[in-house]
Amino acid sequence: NKQAVKDWQQRKAVKQQGQKLERGFNVWRDRKGIPPEKAIFPGLPYIMLHSLSHLLITAVSLECGYAASSIRERIYASDAGYGILLYTGSPGSEGTLGGLVQVGNQLEEHLNVALELGKLCSNDPVCAQHQPDNVQEERFLHGSACHGCLLIAETSCERRNEFLDRALVVATVEGLGAEFFPDQVLV
């Protein structure tokens, strides 16, 4: 829903988290010697959807027995609209009827599992308290994201496990108030 994303982006806590993520991106870009016109910050909607995609891939993998590395993602975040596409990257039964297609028929259940997974990381509170603009940590392209919660097989990820922050998806123990989804989403 484009209006829901637009409303979410106007919230003060979301803007503050976005500023931290963009500062981290700028430090990363400068340290790599990349000119500003060659590397553009992807924006908060992209980071939120990318993080949600990783949570969904993990939820589908845990609930359905798919190997997470067999699921790929494509994130759509532009003025035209917002969306996530999950698909299999190789031929076989996992992507055919009864496979990933069947997962789509139970999307609400998988979304609830994904959102629940995002609320708490085994590395919290350290993960939730990560500051992307902290020059000592040198994890400039992440907010609340680590191997315990959001990082997945790089073959599945369209952006090499970069531009992730579960605090933009759900409330974490840090309580930033920047989450897109409220505590109770679906019945």
Q: Is the pTM of this model over 0.85?
A: yes
**Residue 59 is encoded by which pair of tokens?**
């939820």
The one-digit pLDDT tens for each residue of the chain (187 residues) are 999 999 999 999 999 999 999 999 999 999 999 999 999 999 999 999 999 999 999 998 887 777 888 889 999 999 899 999 988 766 555 555 456 677 777 888 989 999 999 999 999 999 999 999 888 888 899 999 999 999 999 888 999 999 999 999 999 999 889 999 987 655 4
**Cis, peptide link before residue 91, omega less than 30° from 0:** no
> Terminal CA-to-CA distance of the chain, rounded, Å?
19
